[in-house]
Amino acid sequence: MTQFFSTQWTRASAVAVFTLFIAACGKGPQQAAAPPPSDKPATPPVAIVDGTPISRDAYDDYLKGLLRGKPATDVTAEEKNQVLDQMINMQLIAAQAEKDGMEKDPDVATRVALLRTQILADAAAQKYVKNNEPSDQELHAAYDAATDKTEYHASHILVPTKEKAVLLIKKIKGGAKFEDVAKAESTDNSKANGGDLGWFTTARMVKPFGDAVKALKKGEITADPVQTQYGWHIIRLDDTRDSPFDTLKPQLSSALMQKKFQAYIEDLKKNAKIEKKL
């Protein structure tokens, strides 16, 4: 985790520096600490640097950015202190930048303005998504209209060379049991299950593998080996079915949300005066 924090420093610190820098620009040290109006009860700051508090909310937000979805419960006390030290360092640097008048530097001002725009746009996008999640009726309609919702149940044998795969295909056509050949010859972890891959959609597989599965009939094996970056495959299609609604629901929700948000952006464009001068 310590290494994770250090490697994420450059990416995450930009937003944190921006937050601290914006708070400090044009104000004295005490005024820089003034939080915006909020209905949330005030919490003690996690640190005070030359009179300027670093709020608990700022700390939690910065830590969340570093974790990128990982649970905060995984962070040790030592690592939390490392994060706080990073924020203290940033506050010191931001304060020095203010003293040096760097907010007046055209390049700095441009980057600050861009970051502000990005943060506001992200906040607006998150608000839109939260308030416009697809309804069950919309999701079921999208599921009914989906043209490719087939799931495949297949087995495969993976070997490193085409020559080896050709020999094994001949062996299976000669009467050898597919599962036995998979257990004896396959280099894939599925060999323990006789090559059984379970149920999947072709979107989860590399394209050559997915295309080969689609071309097979139930019970059929590939006449020729199929090459992917993993090696050479002998594939058998065991069964097909429509993906259950619950399986496709996350995918459908994401696709619908993208369409809604794109339509939202297009509506904003219609009501805006846009002049491109690139």
- pLDDT tens figures, 52-81: 999 999 999 999 989 988 888 889 999 999
Report the chain's terminal Cα–Cα distance, integer Å.
Answer: 44
Contacts of 205 (CB under 8 A, 6+ apart): 213
Answer whether residue 192 shows pLDDT above 70: yes
Question: Which percentage of the chain shows pLDDT scores above 70?
Answer: 85
Kindly write down the DSSP assignment for every residue of 153-195, as one continuous string. EEEEEEES-HHHHHHHHHHHHTT--HHHHHHHH--SGGGGGTT
- Which pLDDT band holds residue 2 (cuts at 50, 70, 90)? very low
Cβ neighbours around 124 below 10 Å, total: 12
**Half-sphere exposure of residue 156, counting CA atoms within 13 Å on the CB side?**
29
**Which string of DSSP letters, residue by residue, matches 55-101?**
-HHHHHHHHHHHHTTS-GGG--HHHHHHHHHHHHHHHHHHHHHHHTT
Q: How confident is the model at residue 167 (pLDDT cuts 50, 70, 90)?
A: very high
What is the rounded CA–CA span in Å between residue 208 and residue 212? 6
What is the rounded average pLDDT of the residues 103-116? 94
Range scoring the smallest mean pLDDT among 9-23, 137-151, 160-174: 9-23
Classify each residue of 195-221 as buried b or exposed e, where b means 16 or more C-beta atoms within 10 Å of its C-beta.
bbbeebbbeebeeebbebbeebeeeeb
Percent of the chain with pLDDT over 90: 76
Average predicted confidence (pLDDT) for the chain: 87
Which one-letter DSSP state was computed for residue 218? T
pLDDT in tens, 8-48: 444 444 444 444 444 444 443 333 344 455 566 678 999 99
**pLDDT tens column, 232-261:** 999 999 999 998 899 889 989 999 999 999
CA–CA distance, 264 with 116 (Å, rounded to integer): 21
DSSP 8-state assignment for residue 220: -
Classify burial at 108, counting beta carbons within 10 Å of its beta carbon; exposed 0-12, middle 13-18, buried 19 or more.
middle
